[in-house]
Amino acid sequence: MISRVRLNSVLLPLLTIAMLVMQLLDPSKVWQAMLTAFGGALLVSWLWIRSLRDNLHLTREVRFTWAQVGDKLEEQFTLTNDSLVPATWVEVVDHSTLPDYSAARAIGVANQETNKWHTAGICTQRGVYRLGGTTLRSSDPLGVFTVEIVQPESVSLMVMPPVIPLPQVEIMPAGWLGDGRPRPNSPEQTVNALTVHEYQHGEPLRQIHWPTTARRNALYTRVLDGSPANDWWIVLDAEANAQAGHGWESTLELGVILAMSLADRGFRARHSVGLLASGDQTVWLKPKQDDENHRMQMTRALATLQPGQLPLADLLVRAGPTLGHRTSIIIITPSINSEWLTPLTSLMWRGITPTILLLDPASFGSTNHADTLSDILAQMGISRFILNRSLLLQPEARPGWRGQWEWRIMPTGKAVSARPPGDMTWRKLK
């Protein structure tokens, strides 16, 4: 905690010095009385402000350190005055970076007393923000001095993109052709053996199951699982020149929500999910099964993603060697430029199965339409879905519900809580 005392005006000290000089040069009861008045006022003000500086404290507590867009943020403030003099007014200056939220206010607190209040706001934008620090400003009753008490305690608050249902989107499984049938006799079959059977002429010798062969004294081969691999690569096109719309209602925000929602779906289906994004800093997270650290890394990357300059075609070219084989790639893009289809075709030749989510720029006010590119993808046999601005109007998109109460009105007119927020514990800022 850092405290500073500032003199607001030099008038009173100058008058005090002037009265002292006059008393020394020409002693008089008039100068003596005025010196006593001015000097006494200066001394009392100084002692008053020193007492507030040493005994004024603010405790700031928050319920959550993460939330979703639309969640209600609630803070509790406790202002304590342990001095012998009252703080007639205290200005609370909030230095939080959360958009559309401020806890600033002016309040008073008597001596040896505590004042407590709450503030609330809605998390309107995804991102990682600082909640706190806080500066307290107060003054003596005469306004001669001002004290500033800087409390740097803060906490990082992550506002996550919302998760919305996408029943109309079906992700093509890896290792499947466009007609949806498994590849017969594929040399890249998975190594998950379901059972064994007697060796037949022409079967690869590498599939012989030697323990069964030794036990039964005859050649047996493994029957391999032809199911697709579990890896999902989510590729989000965040090139600035390809985006349409502004602020919340933009293709970038819709793309982030789709990526977050698909990652959640993939984790729930026990897929290994990875993320590629061409933002201001390229995001590259390898597919992993759902665990707290991996999910948090992906969430943080999507929460902080800003537009970049890397085109989708270049992103696919650079990432191609790292994607592996027989994986599903989900491309989310508002780009109607067909240049990225060339590297995508190369990936398909390697057994990577794409699903394309086209964000229709026309629904965000652009003159471009996704229909032409969609027709090209259809001719190539690539699964594609055209998604528009209407997804942002779903109740699940905004607001979220983690920090909000749900109330039910009884027949008597009384409101009772049907569902409180998930965590009601107050946590101090550190």
Summarised one tens digit per residue, pLDDT across range 327-336 is 899 999 999 8
- In this predicted structure, which of 90-94, 127-131, 134-138, 245-249 has the lowest mean pLDDT? 245-249
Tell the burial category of 417 from Cβ atoms under 10 Å away from its Cβ (0-12, 13-18, 19+).
exposed
Interval 34-77: pLDDT, tens: 888 888 889 999 999 999 999 999 999 887 777 888 888 889 99
Tokens linked to 18: 């002037």
What is the CATH topology of the domain spanning 1-162? Immunoglobulin-like (2.60.40)
Among residues of the chain, what percentage have pLDDT more than 90? 36
Predicted confidence at residue 181, as pLDDT, reads 39
Binning pLDDT at 50, 70 and 90, where does residue 425 land?
low
The residues of the chain that CATH labels 2.60.40.10 are 1-162
**Would you state the CATH architecture of domain 231-393?**
3-Layer(aba) Sandwich (3.40)
Whether the pLDDT of residue 21 is over 50: the answer is yes
Q: What is the mean pLDDT of residues 185-208?
A: 58
Predicted confidence at residue 371, as pLDDT, reads 86
Interval 106-144: pLDDT, tens: 999 999 999 999 998 888 889 999 988 899 999 999 889
Tokens linked to 192: 């998950």
Check: CB of residue 315 under 8 Å from CB of residue 344.
Answer: no
Q: At what angle do helices 292-304 and 251-268 cross, to 10 degrees?
A: 170
The residues of the chain that CATH labels 3.40.50.410 are 231-393
- Closest-CA residue to 419 (of 392, 399, 401): 401
Predicted confidence at residue 139, as pLDDT, reads 93
Binning pLDDT at 50, 70 and 90, where does residue 94 land?
very high
Predicted confidence at residue 201, as pLDDT, reads 60
- At 270 the three-state DSSP class reads coil
- Closest-CA residue to 353 (of 180, 169, 166, 168): 180
